[in-house]
Amino acid sequence: MSNEQTWFKSSYSDAQGSECVEISAGPDAIRIRDSKRKCGPQLAVEAPAWAGFIAYIAAA
C-alpha cells in the first residue's frame, strides 16, 4: 500500500500554471499546498470545515 498522496489542481487555475493551489483528500484531512512549492508547507483542514468552505464559496 502506498502512502503517496494524489494531488489535484483546479481547472480554474491560472492558464500559465503560475498561480495555483493543489488539494489532496486524505483520511484525516483535506490538504492544500502551493503547486510551485510541492515540498513546501501544507494547510490541513478537517473534512467538515472544507465542506463548509466549499458551500460558502459556491453560494457567493
Asked if the structure places residue 52 within a domain, the reply is yes
Confidence of residue 20 (pLDDT cuts 50, 70, 90): confident
CB 50, CB 39: distance < 8 Å:
no
Q: Quick one: pLDDT at residue 3?
A: 64
The fraction of the chain above a pLDDT of 70, given in percent, is 88
Asked if the structure places residue 46 within a domain, the reply is yes
What domain range is 14 assigned to? 8-59
Asked if the structure places residue 3 within a domain, the reply is no
Confidence of residue 1 (pLDDT cuts 50, 70, 90): very low
Euclidean distance between CA atoms 47 and 37, whole angstroms: 23
The number of distinct structural domains making up the chain is 1
Query: What is the pTM (predicted TM-score) of this model?
Result: 0.75
Asked if the structure places residue 1 within a domain, the reply is no
Asked if the structure places residue 16 within a domain, the reply is yes
pLDDT over 90 at 13, yes or no: no
